[in-house]
DNA sequence: AAAAATATGTTGCATTTACAACAATATTAT
DNA sequence: ATAATATTGTTGTAAATGCAACATATTTTT
């Protein structure tokens, strides 16, 4: 059997990133399930991002939460049905957009959820220090920057 | 509007890892599409992992390629239909398992694909040096290790 | 010895997600 | 001015994925 002188899938950085993303996703789902939160992780990500970017339009939100427009629209349908956000038709660059705003109830629930998550994580001793986490985050951003050159990401 | 003194979704390491995974996945799909390879990225990951772990059983493969058993079984159906692998019923710890083996044709196609990928990546100047990549990989593994303590991953 | 739990793989179903096409509108090019 | 292109959001459809249940067989418990 001839040897293939290439890094194999399992040994690649691709694999480590996917695996880490997977672990974090499972972990996040476990936290949301254990705390019996009223939102899915996706809904929370959308709501939290709207909170940080008031009056953002749907397409820009889609780019931020890493979903396509269709998917984002459906997540927003759910948040709207729960009366946590409102969609307000407006004009941006002379184009019709739907600007997103959090309702009073949405704000209340978001603060409640974020507090619960914060408290929960506080009680977990993570061997990874905040400084190490910062370094890893920075490294990931640099890595992405080096990739973006030859990848056309169009969301 | 009261301020929530928590890292928000967009600022979290969770987000950076998800985003990086997303970018890599899109990039991988683009490479596979541009090179017109005969396998999907998932099929390639499975085949390459079987190559590295001869006679692995389905469940162990599932853990390695980060899919559940059902999904893994379906990917293997496809590889088997293309005559790239064989499934051989065997006994491991007194239990029936299906051991996976690559066919001659599977070996040929895998080498061909891996060579094409290697050549393609060689011609891309990545600002991230191999040393930096190694450091990032190591860091990700440490990070995962620190998470694994309070996450029950059961695949 | 019988019952309960475990391991492995498959099937069915529901959910998530993406992609393509469309609608409506505005901008740009010819 | 008309046509082509671009922007934003929605709908429809297909694919990927996971989860629960099942089948089969084995080990462990009682």
Report yes or no on B147 lying in a domain.
Answer: no
Domain with residue B82: its CATH number is: 1.10.10.10
Q: Are strands A85-92 and B85-92 parallel, antiparallel or unpaired?
A: unpaired
Report yes or no on A75 lying in a domain.
Answer: yes
pLDDT digits (tens, 9 = 90+) for A4-24: 446 899 999 999 999 999 999
Report yes or no on B7 lying in a domain.
Answer: no
For testing contact with chain B, the best of A7, A8, A9 (most B CBs within 10 A): A9
Measured CA to CA, the distance from residue A140 to residue A25 in angstroms comes to 17
Report yes or no on A7 lying in a domain.
Answer: no
Answer yes or no: is A94 CB < 7 A from strand C.
yes
Answer yes or no: is B40 CB < 7 A from strand D.
yes
Answer yes or no: is B154 CB < 7 A from strand D.
no
Report yes or no on A103 lying in a domain.
Answer: yes
pTM for the complete prediction?
A: 0.88
Domain housing A101: 37-118
Report yes or no on B4 lying in a domain.
Answer: no
> Residue written as tokens 């290439």?
A6
Number of domains in chain B: 1
pLDDT digits (tens, 9 = 90+) for B91-150: 877 778 899 999 999 999 999 999 999 998 887 767 788 899 999 999 999 999 888 765
- Strand C: which nucleotides have any atom within 7 A of a protein Cβ? 7-12, 16-21, 25-27
Measured CA to CA, the distance from residue B48 to residue B28 in angstroms comes to 15
pLDDT digits (tens, 9 = 90+) for B87-102: 998 887 777 889 999 9
Report yes or no on B101 lying in a domain.
Answer: yes
Report yes or no on B103 lying in a domain.
Answer: yes
Residue A20: phi and psi, rounded to 5, are -65, -40
pLDDT digits (tens, 9 = 90+) for A38-71: 999 999 999 999 999 999 999 999 999 999 999 9
DSSP string, A42-77: HHHHHHHHHHHSTT-BHHHHHHHHT--HHHHHHHHH
């Amino acid at each position: 059997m001839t040897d293939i002188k290439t890094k194999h899938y399992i040994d690649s950085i691709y694999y480590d990133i996917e695996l880490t993303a997977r672990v974090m996703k499972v972990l996040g789902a476990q936290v949301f399930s254990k705390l019996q939160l009223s939102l899915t992780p996706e809904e929370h990500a959308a709501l939290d991002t709207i909170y940080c970017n008031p009056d953002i339009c749907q397409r820009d939100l889609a780019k931020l939460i890493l979903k396509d427009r269709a998917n984002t629209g459906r997540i927003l349908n759910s948040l709207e049905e729960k009366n946590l956000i409102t969609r307000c038709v407006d004009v941006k660059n002379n184009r019709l957009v739907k600007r997103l705003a959090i309702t009073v109830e949405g704000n209340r629930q978001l603060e409640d959820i974020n507090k619960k998550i914060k408290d929960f994580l506080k009680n977990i001793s993570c061997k990874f220090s905040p400084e190490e986490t910062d370094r890893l985050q920075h490294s990931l951003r640099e890595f992405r920057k080096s990739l973006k050159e030859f990848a056309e990401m169009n969301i």
